[in-house]
Chains A and B, each alone.
Chain A
Amino acid sequence: MNTRIFSTIGSRLLGALPSLAAVIVVTFVIMRLLPGDPAAFFAGPAASAEAVEQIREQLGLNRSLPVQFWDYLGDLAQGDFGQSFTTGQPVAADLVSRLPASLELTIVALLIAVVLGLPLGVLSATRPNSWVDQVTRLVTTTGTCLPTFFTGLVLIYVFYYLLGWSPAPLGRLDLMYSPPPEVTGFYTIDAVLAGDWEVFRSALAQLILPAVTLGFFALAPLARMTRAGLLGVLSSDYVRTARACGLSSRVVLTRYALKNTLVPILNTMGMVFSYLLGINVLVEKVFAWPGVGSYALEALVASDYAPVQGFVLAIAVLYVLLNLSVDIACGLVDRRLAR
């Protein structure tokens, strides 16, 4: 059993390699298509054409694309993602320091969406076509239709500027606090580990608005999938069997219905999570969140190859792991899928 799981995981990871390789190639090519000239950027505002050429040579940008690609692969193999021009740091270090920020935000957003979305979906599914259902549907659907950048701005305006309930949209911590000692990189968790409740409160307060912005966006897919899945399951033969056997409504709903809806819900969660990681860019921009999304955006605008390449690769790897864990979780729920 265990060896089978390991070999499954192993073969899945092996199977993802070609995709990752393609991601590396495609990103590399797209980045070289960018019209910007990193050498010009690097050379500074007043550089002469010769100076730019000189820099180009220093950076190895005058070599042919295949050679550059080969060099890049060589660096990658050594765990070197290159240097960011914009932050001036090694990309790997930047990613390590920024990825937890994005992940923390995304995970909290997903939690919010799950905590709200699943009950709403259940509510809808158990009262199909009632007004409760319609209102839920309208609200959750509206959630996906709100551009996150717009929601974020409106939330800041209302909750920070007008009401003053939430702290300034200034990233992960109030300016007065310094980050807790790094263990996981998640400030909330690290603060708890360090027993620093003030920092925890501040980190949490900072998280709420951006996470709600993202979470509201993720609400609809989850609520919808729960509703649709549950509706399907509730009208299934085995739920009817369970009812006919006199099992209590609670047991029927949880053990028979919800658990069977879990697989599509888990899949949706995986999809939503990866999608949120992608659109983090917008929320991070609005909330000055020092995550990988805004990092990649800035780098992209600056034609800064290395960070974008590193970011895309990191996310792609993350996706592979995410999909794998979703599949494993689904396999645990429904053994048919584990075969």
Chain B
Amino acid sequence: ALADARKETLLVVIESGPNSLDIHGVGTNRPAYGTSWNVYDRLMTYGVKKLANGTEMYDYKTLKPELATKWEIAKDGKSVTFHLRRDAKFHDGTPVTAADVKWSFDRAVTVGGFPTFQMKAGSLEKPEQFVVVDPYTLRIDFLRADKLTLPDLAVPVAAIYNSTLAKKHATPDDPWAMAWLKNNEAGGGAYQVASWRPGSEMVYTRFEGWKSGPKPKLKRVVVREVPSSASQQALIERGDVDVAFDLSPKTVVDLKGKPRVKLIGTPIENAMWYVGMNVTKPPFNNVKVRQAVAYVLPYQKIFDAAVYGQGIPLYGGAKNTDWPRPTPYKTDLAKAKKLMAEAGFEKGFATTLSFDQGLSFIGEPVALLTQEALAQIGITTTINKIPGANWRAALLKKDMPLMVNTFGGWLNYPEYFFYWTYHGQNAVFNSMSYQNPKLDKLVDAARFETNPAKYKKDVEGFIKLAYDEVPRVPLFQPLVSVAMQPNVVGYRYWFHRQLDLRSLAKR
């Protein structure tokens, strides 16, 4: 019995698990996106494409039906109408209706925080935008033409909740049942939460009544939290677990060539590790100093030692026009020294180099090598390792002069990335506090540009600006890596970087 159960059960280890079952909740963490993804359905989902190496990955260019069987954009281009699947049911058996969809979207745009922000990225801002036409038809009115509107309805935040069930647990103080949904699911997705012990384990079982896609192969999935990467490695190597997800680069290197382990690494779209310089903190307001830093960084050493070559270099000149794209910079001490001299800092200066302790596996070697390299041009640095929550606060405060950090945008568009990281609106992720009206104009233009040629010109324009002024020096594009037993198939990379259990199977 144990062996049979083993066949239909998938054992997954991850570093840490969800802190909520409700992606709309306050303070919900990343792993919770994965839970939401598998437990809730959305109206649409993205297509899938095969990569050159044979692995599958979502295709951000195509949208496929999930709860909605079809949708049409109004002639005037001012709204979209969704037709819901008639046989879809929530886990408790309640049919899925347009009212549920509206309730869910209303909730997302009202509760504030991350869901509201994410909806806003697709110009979905007000409950009035969501109109129930009939029980199985829903119209969404556009506030403005935004090519992100439809894609934004396929991200985890746009999950559809069982409003009947949720409302039962709503209170006047808590009209959106935030408290209840945090620990209870009200979804209709392919998997149900069988048990959840926060901080240690989540067990999913297949929802047999799922209609929004092909029936998943796995009956039961156990996701265990194992913080130690060494243990993760040992477990997968010894065959004790089926999947180890989101591995550290070192683990990947060590697992490479092990016969019993299958490894898949997918570059994380729209993401990069970088060294950022706060342009409001002299002397980093001096572009020559920034360029000097860009020229002195030991890119290859960093790439080898910090991620063991697990990634895509973002330095030494571009070979194509993809985004993210390598910078023209490469290690050149003489040039760096010259730039420092030109900037009037031959003697160098002292500053602090910060990074997030939570990411120290990669951040620390990068910081150490950066520190060592900067010392060559007279910049002496004190390394400041900032624990998780403080990191958030420090980013918000924007007072770190020099940092090693990573950022990735969900929606795979360069202007989306630049909007958050370089734009003068000075979002948190513009950790360099960089402001350049010229760049802002280009980014804003690209966002709503429909003409491909013009769009391309805008994109090239802001990339060039950003790379010339180098407030942030891109280092490399990281991978999300998964290791599995050879008999596990159906792994798919998703932009949210969580496991899609629905496609996984054991042979």
Contacts and interface: CB of A to CB of B under 8 A. Distances in A.
Please say whether chains A and B are actual partners in one complex: yes
Interface of A: 34-38, 40-49, 51-52, 54-55, 58, 84-89, 94, 97-98, 153, 156, 160-161, 164, 167-171, 175-176, 178, 285-286, 288, 290, 294-295, 298, 301-304
B27 A89 contact: no
11 contacts: A41-B393, A52-B396, A84-B19, A87-B199, A88-B27, A156-B231, A160-B238, A168-B231, A168-B234, A170-B224, A303-B390
Nearest to A34: B390
Given A85-B27, A94-B198, A178-B195, A303 B389 contact: yes
Given A98-B199, A288-B225, A304 B113 contact: no
A296 to B, nearest CB: 12
A173 B389 CA distance: 31
B182 interface: yes
Given A37-B389, A168-B238, A170-B231, A46 B226 contact: no
B388 interface: yes
B240 A175 contact: yes
What DSSP secondary structure best describes chain B's contact surface? mixed
Contacts of B20: 88
B420 to A, nearest CB: 7
Interface of B: 2, 5-6, 9, 11, 13, 18-20, 25-29, 112-114, 117-118, 182-183, 195, 197-201, 203, 222, 224-228, 230-231, 234-235, 238, 240-241, 357-358, 387-390, 392-393, 395-396, 420, 427-429
Given A40-B396, A168-B240, A290-B197, A301 B387 contact: yes
A36 B195 contact: no
A216 B420 CA distance: 52
Contacts of A153: 230
Top-7 shortest CB links A-B: A37-B393, A36-B389, A44-B114, A303-B389, A88-B19, A87-B198, A36-B390
A285 B11 CA distance: 21
Contacts of B393: 35-37, 40-41, 303
Contact of A89 (B6, B198, B357, B429): B198
A47 B183 CA distance: 24
A103 B270 CA distance: 46
Nearest to B11: A175
Nearest to B394: A35
B113 A44 contact: yes
Contacts of A302: 387-389
Given A85-B27, A87-B198, A156-B231, 19 more contacts: A37-B390, A40-B389, A40-B396, A43-B114, A46-B117, A46-B428, A47-B114, A47-B428, A48-B428, A49-B396, A54-B112, A86-B199, A88-B20, A97-B197, A160-B234, A170-B235, A285-B227, A302-B389, A303-B388
Given A41-B389, A44-B113, A176 B235 contact: no
A46 B2 contact: no
Nearest to A152: B228
Contacts of A54: 112
B27 A41 contact: yes
Contacts of A43: 26-27, 113-114
B389 A87 contact: no
Nearest to B227: A288
